[in-house]
Every structure is written in C-alpha cells, then in structure tokens.
Amino acid sequence: MTEVDTDLMKKLVSLCKRLGFVYQSGEIYGGLQSSWDYGPLGVELKKNIENSWWDFTVRTRTNVVGMDSAIITHPDVWKASGHLSHFHDPMVDCLQCKSRFRQDHVEGDVCPECGGELTEPREFGLMLKTQMGALENDSATVYLRPETCQPIFVNFKNVVNALRLRLPFGIAQMGKAFRNEITARNFIFRSREFEQMEMEFFCLPEESGTWFTYWLEERMAWYTDRLGILRDNLRFREHDDSELAHYADGCTDIEYRFPFATDGWGELEGVANRTDFDLTAHMEQSGQDLSFQNQVENTKIVPYVIETSGGLGRTLLAVLLDAYREEEIEGRTRVVLGLHRDLAPIKAAILPLSKKLSENAAKVEELLRPHFPVRFDVTGSIGKRYRRMDEAGTPYCITYDFESLEDNSVTIRERDSLGQVRVPIDSLVNEMTKLLRDGWPAENPGT
C-alpha cells in the first residue's frame, strides 16, 4: 500500500464516522473487531444500492424471480454443498513476529511482515455454528449460512412449481452471510458478517457459455450505469485453472481498483458457471428429484447454473471510494462525495440563508418531503452548510434567501458543477423530480 492510498482510506473511514455512514460496532465497549454498523446516511446508501440491484436483477426482468431464506440453515444443506468437509482455510503463523496469514496469501515460506519462518499450514473451519432448541438433549448444531446461494438450490423445486417456470430462468436473493474469516480487514471490504447479492441462472447445459457472457456484461453495466462507478476503475479478471473452484467450469471476477489491494485490484463480484454441481449434490444428499422437465423435448435434465455473486459491503466501499474527491476552490479544499443521484442518501438540502427565514424555508421542506428524502439545515454559515452537504453526497442544495420572501422562488445549487438556477416554489417539486431523474442539464453551467 502506498502512502497516498493509506491516506485515502483513513480519510474515508473518518468521513464515514463523522457524517453517519459507518461506525465500528460496539464502539463504546472498545469495538467488536472488523464488525460495522451503518448510521443514518449509511443505511440509506445501502438501501439504495440494494434496491438498485433488486430492480436491475429481479423486478425489471421477465425471467428472474426473488426469494429470501432463513440465515440459520438445515445442516444437511452444508453437507451436500461440501462446506462441512471442505470449507476450511489453511493458515500459517510466523514463529518470529506471531503474525497470521492465509497460506494462499503468502508467497514462499517466509513471513511477508518480518521475514521470519512460518509454521506448517493448519486448517480452520470458516462456518459459524450455534445450538438451537431449548434443552441439551434436543438441541441441534446448526450453521449460519456462509453464502446465500445454497438455499436457492434447496428451494429450487418449490419455486419452479409455484411459478411454473421454464428454462432459462434465474432465482435471486440478497442477505446476510457469515464466515469466520481469519483475515477480516480493510474496513467493510472483508468482515465476518457481510451481505451478499446472488443470482443463480438455470439454463440448458449447451447454452451456459452464452449466458455466462451475457451476465458478465450485465453485471458490469450495473456497476457503471446504475452505480456510476468509473469504468477505468473496474476490470474483468478470468480465474486460471489453479484458482478455479472444483465445481466451476469457468469464473471471471469483476474487480475494483481498491487502494489497499496489493496488486491494485480487489474482487467485487464473481460470475461463475457452476455447471450442474449443486443441484446434483442436493439430489444425492436429499434423495429428492430436482431435475427439470424440459417441456420441449419431454426429457428430464439437470440444468446448468450461471451464478452472479457480489458483496454489498465492498460494493458500498467501492461506491464511496469512487465518489470521494478533494478540490481546490478559491484557495480552500472542498471534499465532495460525488455519489450518483440515485444513490445519494439525501436528495436535497433546504438551507435558509438566515435563521430569520427558518419558518418559511421549513415550508419548502414540507413541500418536498413526501416526494424524496430531504434535509433541513439552519446551523452555521451557508458556506459551511454547503460543504457539509457536499461531503454527504447530496446532489442539490436549495437556498431560501430574503428575495424568496418577495419572488416566492428559491435557488437550486448543483453539487458537482456548482451551477445554480432560480426556480419558483410552485414548480419546485416538478423541477426537482426532473433533476433527480435526468441529472443536471449541460446548459446550466457552473459558476
């Protein structure tokens, strides 16, 4: 990690706490390691990303449906999937400085921190388990799901029957997953409790290559077009044979240029051809027939699966990093979170120029509030309040000044261009709706 990059992460973590995006969990008790709570702005940003994914993946498609399974899962699910026997990380410790590493993160057998000698690798289970049931003799060991995709396979038949689905179709779900990560770190990039956004797309085996390419392009389009992440900060990276999971016939990651990543890039999402591995495994473990009636040829087949599997926390981090910038304006540094207007937690701030105008400006807030999330702010100079909203990623500030009392109009100021436009309060809802849908028009130049 270069010095500049460490700096960026520090600034971002500090901004996240100061503005109410992300806090360390249990901070007043010294904090729970690599566990994070989302504050008032963070939860709105998170919801906006979730809704964007659900809308893009499920609601606007004829052939993808959603589901939402329990976190605590029947143990046989993880027998079938191979997690109970295979989901371990090999770990090595440095005999000298006592640092601990995942073996596959270390090249050679020498500590990357101090050059000391490393222990032989030891295996550590990555699933979190708990006991459910009231009494010792009827309590059962159950697992917190380490991924959201397996319950999709387990419910495959129920979903197909309920909706009488025909190939190809997808089943999507998002939600919490838990892994006892050894190297949980880098803020919300890797934590033991995290949120996945996954979709399993079932298709004929011979069409799986085509769908793999289709979904790879679709997923990239989501990051760039819906979340507004710069294409140059994203790349595809194909897995080579050595890192390909045993069940996969091909896997390509979508990576973001994270400042802490050793080679400059870190995974946001994996798109994989999981073949018929999972359905076959659950058929064998459960003894149930999960094959699909191919109505055209009247044969039974086990479909292939193209999986898209993204992480919500790391996507949110990429969105924040990509949006963060510092600018020199009139000799002062302005920090801006240039969030896409669809993602911004606050769509507009209503700022009375003076406290004397508060009552009238509050009426403008009341007018807008039923339509989109707005914030009223009267504390501090107008310049300070603009900067606060720039840091929070708020795309529009609406200033109520003394002239507003005369002309019943307000000034809309855009965050990035600093362009301004005067708008009658009567048409403010319409104007804001248009600005939030289409963005700031090029013909309104900055000041």
Give the footprint of a copy of itself on residues 152-171 (CB under 8 A): 154-155, 157-159, 162-164, 171
Taking the least distance from each CB to a copy of itself, the nearer of 165 and 421 is: 165
Structure letter (DSSP) for residue 292: E
Q: In whole angstroms, how close is the CB of 374 to a copy of itself at the nearest point?
A: 9
Say if CB 337 and CB 391 are below 8 A apart. yes
44 binds a copy of itself (CB under 8 A): yes
Q: In whole angstroms, how close is the CB of 133 to a copy of itself at the nearest point?
A: 7
72 binds a copy of itself (CB under 8 A): yes
Which span sits near a copy of itself by CB under 8 A: 61-69, 208-216, 332-340, 414-422? Answer: 61-69
Q: In whole angstroms, how close is the CB of 371 to a copy of itself at the nearest point?
A: 10
Say if CB 350 and CB 361 are below 8 A apart. yes
Site for a copy of itself in 337-366 (CB under 8 A): 365
Position among 129, 226, 237, 257 found at the interface with a copy of itself (CB under 8 A): 129
| Residue 48 burial (CB count, 10 A) | 20
The site for a copy of itself, by CB under 8 A, has a size of 85
422 binds a copy of itself (CB under 8 A): no
135 binds a copy of itself (CB under 8 A): yes
288 binds a copy of itself (CB under 8 A): yes
Q: In whole angstroms, how close is the CB of 348 to a copy of itself at the nearest point?
A: 13
Taking the least distance from each CB to a copy of itself, the nearer of 193 and 401 is: 193
Taking the least distance from each CB to a copy of itself, the nearer of 38 and 440 is: 38
Say if CB 409 and CB 425 are below 8 A apart. yes
Site for a copy of itself in 242-281 (CB under 8 A): none
Q: What are phi and psi of 27, to 5 degrees?
A: -55, -40
Say if CB 429 and CB 367 are below 8 A apart. yes
The helix (run of H) or strand (run of E) holding residue 420 is: strand 420-424
Taking the least distance from each CB to a copy of itself, the nearer of 19 and 251 is: 19
Pairwise CA distance, residues 74 & 199, whole Å: 21
Helix axis angle, 428-438 relative to 358-368, nearest 10°?
A: 60
What string marks each residue from 362 to 391 as x (binds a copy of itself by CB under 8 A) or -? ---x---xx--x--x--x------------
Q: Which residues, in sequence order, are bridge partners of residue 254?
A: 236, 269
Pairwise CA distance, residues 316 & 322, whole Å: 10
Which span sits near a copy of itself by CB under 8 A: 43-51, 255-263, 301-309, 437-445? Answer: 43-51
Say if CB 184 and CB 166 are below 8 A apart. no
Cα–Cα separations (whole angstroms), residue 295 to 153, 299, 301, 432: 21, 7, 10, 50
Q: Which residues, in sequence order, are bridge partners of residue 332?
A: 329
Structure letter (DSSP) for residue 121: P
Q: Which of 249, 145, 164 is nearest to 207 (CA)?
A: 249
180 binds a copy of itself (CB under 8 A): yes
Helix (H, G, I), strand (E, B) or coil at 415: coil
9 binds a copy of itself (CB under 8 A): no
Q: Look up residue 432 and give its two tokens.
A: 């804001």
Which span sits near a copy of itself by CB under 8 A: 5-13, 30-38, 220-228, 244-252? Answer: 30-38
4 binds a copy of itself (CB under 8 A): no
What string marks each residue from 88 to 127 as x (binds a copy of itself by CB under 8 A) or -? -x-x--------x-----------------------x---
DSSP 187-200: GGGB-SEEEEEEEE
With a CB cutoff of 8 Å and minimum separation 6, the contacts of 286 are 76, 80
Say if CB 269 and CB 216 are below 8 A apart. no
Which span sits near a copy of itself by CB under 8 A: 35-43, 205-213, 398-406, 420-428? Answer: 35-43
Q: In whole angstroms, how close is the CB of 408 to a copy of itself at the nearest point?
A: 22
296 binds a copy of itself (CB under 8 A): no
